[in-house]
Structure 1
Amino acid sequence: MLRRIITLTAIFLVALPSTVLAQGRSFIRDTEIEETLRLYATPIFKAAGLDPNGVSIYIVSDNSLNAFVAGGQKLFINTGLLLKAETPEQVIGVMAHETGHITGGHLSRVHDQLRNASAISILSTIAGVAAGVAAGRSDVGTAAILGGQNIATRNFLAYSRTQESSADQAGVKYLTAAGISARGMMEFMETLEGQELLSTASQDPYMRSHPLTTERVEFLENYVANSTLKDAKVSDDLYERHARMRAKLYAFTNQKQNTLRTYPESDTSVAGQYARAIAYYQNSELAPALEIIENLIAVEPNNPYFEELKGQVLLEFGKAQEAIAPLEKSTELSNGAPLIRLLLAHAMIETGDNSYLEAAKTNLMGVLSRERGNASAWRFRAIVENRLGNEGEASLSQAEYSLLTGDRQAASYHAVQADRKLDKGSAAWLRAQDILQATNPDGKPGKDAPK
């Protein structure tokens, strides 16, 4: 049974095409968590000779322990793995191993699998993720974690034991080059080793798609034992970020009573307070949630994510006007993080005050300059342009939104409207022509327009 849909502080449910949802996956976005994972991964990607900006990291909303690479340089990590990992090094170790699969060319086997219809379906799913993940919606929260993985997907993403061993060796090399202990990777593999006696159905997906052998575990144990970095730890800052990431994910994916049991009042850490604030917020208890958030802001006045949470809570409780100030501060402190600017624009729109429309548009344009594939930004822009009386831009924005969310018929219809209202030859008009061509390759624009 799905949990009640909740609004989150920038943990957004991704509006994915139906082909993605059919695979039983949903994805979440959160600026703070994405930044933390980037900090984990960047030294590894650099050590592997990869451009850190060229590797996309996606967070899969699934409580099973899993991570994989697919569709080129795309790294997928389950929320279950992030919650299970007790240290940053354990997550970094998994990232290093998966990076070994990328640099080892193990994904080339995908082309051989294309003979199977199931493989084609899986590739379509993966291809749709890049656009779908960018469609984070600020008005919809994450639903219940969707169940398990399709058997065909598991088989498709499964690696051979030889490839696993190769990825291990590459992974420890990258970790050492980055000055990070391989102990985290070893600890993660030892956790998986305890699942070998479980039935296949009871094993975590990572165990099924990444075959574990005694030799692999022994290799890692020997490597760590003889490494000068065996007792090295990453910075205290990363440990604190890890604790907050886990607290945030736990609080947003559990009922209040579970969160308060895991993070009781006696836990005075920032992570513990963070979790309790979210738990009260989820349970529609505004006063205690805001009290904790204000305390957190007093301790860390330059933390953009506490201001973001305050703004999100106020917006959720119908206080859009009051939400603007903390969201403006959060936007400034985060150097204009797209998801936070999106939330700010949403709050401005929700006030119903037309004096905010130009500012909302500016923020949405800022989001789209960095994430052109953000479907929600186009949807909000359509609302703003319509209220400003810019009918052509409103139609074009709605066409962009429909195209990104897979509704080709609606995209064609709105592109036709944009074509009629925009100045011929303008950049916006030319974009409308592109959408018409994409949705009507037979050269008959608008033939699929709604009746």
Structure 2
Amino acid sequence: MLRNPVPRAALALVLALGAAPAQAQEVLRDAETEAFFREMSAPIVTAAGLDPRNVNVVLLNDGEVNAFVAGGQTVYMNSGLIGEADHAEEVQGVFAHELGHIVGGHAIRGGEGSRPAVAITLLSLLLGAAAAAAGSPEAGLGIFMGGMTAAEGKYLAFSRAQEATADAASVKFLAGAGISGRGSVNFFQKLQNMEYRAGYRKSPDDEWYSTHPMTDDRLTTLKDAFEQDPAWKRPEDPALQRRFLRVKAKLYGYLAEPQQTLTAYPEYVNDIPAHYARAYAYHKQAFMDKALAETDAILAAEPDDAYALELKGQVLLESGRPADAIPPLRRAVALTQNQPLIATTFGHALLATEDRANFPEAERVLKAAVVKDHDNPFAWYQLGMVYEANGDTPRARLASAEQEAMQLQYVEALRNAEAAQAALPAGSPDWLRAQDIAMSTRAMVEHKRKKK
């Protein structure tokens, strides 16, 4: 189920390199969505010569139709992009473009474009100052402004070249994966239509001031290249498309107002995406019976649908019925081979019963979850509650330090890590981990203090 790492979340996509700081946006974690991203991206990553296990897609809560990379091997996508797409192939086209930035090392090569621009700016500043000192202030200002324009043009030309390179790479990667480029072309057509609806009309100076090549030029180039690929007329993968429609409906139901969801997915529509979306709408309105009826409708068609079981369990848990949530969540964990996000919800339900007989299972499940997905602060929070309930205060403090460090609460993380280290057996794995957290958070605290 869509959730925040602590404890609620959201999504994002961007068609530009380094277009937004991912750290400043809300991240959505959802087991089914992340599984879809892995499946749709794996053949493209392989075609690019990379290991699919090392390339991630992160969804952000941002209505802008966009996707971006910001260093490393992670592609960030906005919820607005998923909402605008109608086919999994469109998302694959966007992903292939962003992967082109990763393979080209564009994020770490940004200095290649900025350094010449800075050099031009500094030179124009020196020449302008010299002209002003010689008694021609207007000439000096003109030299400086001309230099600024030239510097801007230099950098933008560099950026456009990177975007064109990423476009060409996307053609290569999709062809290598045997995926049609129709989705990529269709999505660029949507971007073009969005420009027209916004009142944009191309002028001769537009490309000079743009970070990207003009959309119509990119569209023509891409279409010409893709139409020569044998995969151009290959039908889309129906199973992947079904999974995309489910993910899109979940996202819409999670983010939209309930009435908007019920308008977009009216009650007479009885496919699985519609049941998904309406389950979220009713759950947000606290109509538990209606929400459960929607999840049960999915399970009537597909009894072993792990993600529908997960959703049913979370509806029950958040409606104050944790004991009833345990069976569907336990089944979902088993079906997904201990998927860590689902396991975290299961552990939460076990703890929420306040039945100490459930605590050993909760500890076992949550430990397994953080091993598979270390960067999940809510799982660490729940695990800390188990430790505290069992009287294991040192490990409870260590779990809190893990959680707080991920949430950039460095002072609190340092305090808990030092307390854990003081009480844990010296040299033990947990003691060493507490020491690592203490050292890293102490450095961050000192850094922030110096900046102030």
| TM-score over 0.5 for the pair | yes
| Equivalent residue, structure 1, for 2:74 | 74
Q: Distance in 2 between matches of 1:410 and 1:422?
A: 18
Q: Tell whether the 8 Å contact from 1:15 to 1:405 is kept in structure 2 after alignment.
A: no
Alignment of 1:18-37 (within 5 A): 25-37=25-37
Of the candidates 295, 300, 303, which is equivalent to residue 302 of structure 2? 300
**1:23-51 per-position Cα deviation (integer Å, ceiling 9, x unaligned):** 75211111101111111111100000011
1:323 Cα shift? Answer: 0.6
Q: Distance in 2 between matches of 1:319 and 1:51?
A: 42
Which of 1 and 2 has greater Rg?
Answer: 2
Q: 1:425 to 1:213 in 2, by over 3 A?
A: closer
Q: Secondary structure at the match of 1:77?
A: strand
Of the candidates 426, 431, 434, which is equivalent to residue 433 of structure 2? 431
| Equivalent residue, structure 1, for 2:362 | 360
Alignment of 1:205-220 (within 5 A): 210-220=212-222
My pick for the range that moved more, 316-325 or 249-258, is 249-258
Q: Secondary structure at the match of 1:229?
A: helix
Q: 1:352 to 1:111 in 2, by over 3 A?
A: farther
1:392 Cα shift? Answer: 1.4
Q: What percent of counterpart residues are identical? A: 37
1:421 Cα shift? Answer: 2.0
1:386 Cα shift? Answer: 0.7
1:157 Cα shift? Answer: 11
Q: Distance in 2 between matches of 1:47 and 1:325?
A: 41
Q: 1:254 to 1:352 in 2, by over 3 A?
A: same
Q: Distance in 2 between matches of 1:225 and 1:428?
A: 57
* Count of residues paired in the alignment: 389
| Equivalent residue, structure 1, for 2:345 | 343
Q: 1:15 to 1:111 in 2, by over 3 A?
A: farther
| Equivalent residue, structure 2, for 1:239 | 241
The one-letter code of the counterpart of 1:170 is A
Q: 1:439 to 1:273 in 2, by over 3 A?
A: closer
The one-letter code of the counterpart of 1:80 is G
| Equivalent residue, structure 2, for 1:104 | 104
**1:174-225 per-position Cα deviation (integer Å, ceiling 9, x unaligned):** 111111111111111111223445468xxxxxx9764434332111222333
Q: Distance in 2 between matches of 1:211 and 1:217?
A: 10
The one-letter code of the counterpart of 2:353 is T
| Equivalent residue, structure 1, for 2:174 | 175
Q: Secondary structure at the match of 2:109?
A: helix
Residue 87 of structure 1 pairs with residue 87 of structure 2: yes
Q: Tell whether the 8 Å contact from 2:370 to 2:376 is kept in structure 1 after alignment.
A: yes
| Equivalent residue, structure 1, for 2:149 | none
TM-score (norm 1): 0.80
| Equivalent residue, structure 1, for 2:206 | none
1:401 Cα shift? Answer: 1.7
1:235 Cα shift? Answer: 1.7
Q: Distance in 2 between matches of 1:296 and 1:11?
A: 24
The one-letter code of the counterpart of 2:84 is K
Q: Tell whether the 8 Å contact from 2:348 to 2:362 is kept in structure 1 after alignment.
A: yes
Q: Distance in 1 between matches of 2:221 and 2:157?
A: 21
Q: Distance in 2 between matches of 1:21 and 1:44?
A: 25
Q: 1:435 to 1:101 in 2, by over 3 A?
A: closer
Q: Distance in 2 between matches of 1:409 and 1:258?
A: 42
Q: Distance in 2 between matches of 1:94 and 1:361?
A: 40
1:439 Cα shift? Answer: 3.1
| Equivalent residue, structure 1, for 2:321 | 319
| Equivalent residue, structure 1, for 2:394 | 392
Highest relative contact order (Cα 8 Å, sep 6+), 1 or 2? 1
Q: Distance in 2 between matches of 1:442 and 1:76?
A: 26
Q: Tell whether the 8 Å contact from 1:159 to 1:211 is kept in structure 2 after alignment.
A: no
Runs of 4+ in 1 over 6 A off after TM superposition: 20-23, 156-159
Q: 1:351 to 1:277 in 2, by over 3 A?
A: same
Q: Tell whether the 8 Å contact from 2:4 to 2:10 is kept in structure 1 after alignment.
A: no
Q: Tell whether the 8 Å contact from 1:9 to 1:308 is kept in structure 2 after alignment.
A: no
Q: Tell whether the 8 Å contact from 1:10 to 1:343 is kept in structure 2 after alignment.
A: no
1:67 Cα shift? Answer: 0.5
Q: 1:224 to 1:409 in 2, by over 3 A?
A: closer
Q: Tell whether the 8 Å contact from 2:156 to 2:210 is kept in structure 1 after alignment.
A: no
My pick for the range that moved more, 344-353 or 271-280, is 271-280
Q: Tell whether the 8 Å contact from 1:247 to 1:275 is kept in structure 2 after alignment.
A: yes
| Equivalent residue, structure 2, for 1:259 | 261
Q: 1:23 to 1:53 in 2, by over 3 A?
A: closer
Q: 1:260 to 1:167 in 2, by over 3 A?
A: same
1:276 Cα shift? Answer: 1.4
Q: Tell whether the 8 Å contact from 2:160 to 2:211 is kept in structure 1 after alignment.
A: no
Q: Tell whether the 8 Å contact from 1:193 to 1:212 is kept in structure 2 after alignment.
A: no
| Equivalent residue, structure 1, for 2:183 | 184
Q: 1:97 to 1:416 in 2, by over 3 A?
A: closer
Residue 382 of structure 1 pairs with residue 384 of structure 2: yes
1:279 Cα shift? Answer: 1.3
Q: Secondary structure at the match of 1:75?
A: strand
Q: 1:219 to 1:364 in 2, by over 3 A?
A: same
**1:63-95 per-position Cα deviation (integer Å, ceiling 9, x unaligned):** 110001112211001111011111111110111
Q: CA RMSD in A?
A: 2.8
Q: Distance in 1 between matches of 2:77 and 2:157?
A: 15
1:255 Cα shift? Answer: 1.6
Alignment of 1:118-137 (within 5 A): none
The one-letter code of the counterpart of 1:386 is E
Gapped regions of structure 1 (runs ≥ 5): 1-7, 116-155, 201-206, 445-451
| Equivalent residue, structure 2, for 1:330 | 332
Gapped regions of structure 2 (runs ≥ 5): 12-19, 116-154, 201-208, 447-452
TM-score (norm 2): 0.80
My pick for the range that moved more, 207-216 or 351-360, is 207-216
Of the candidates 269, 272, 275, which is equivalent to residue 273 of structure 1? 275
Q: Distance in 1 between matches of 2:368 and 2:157?
A: 40
Of the candidates 401, 412, 426, which is equivalent to residue 410 of structure 1? 412
The one-letter code of the counterpart of 2:257 is Q
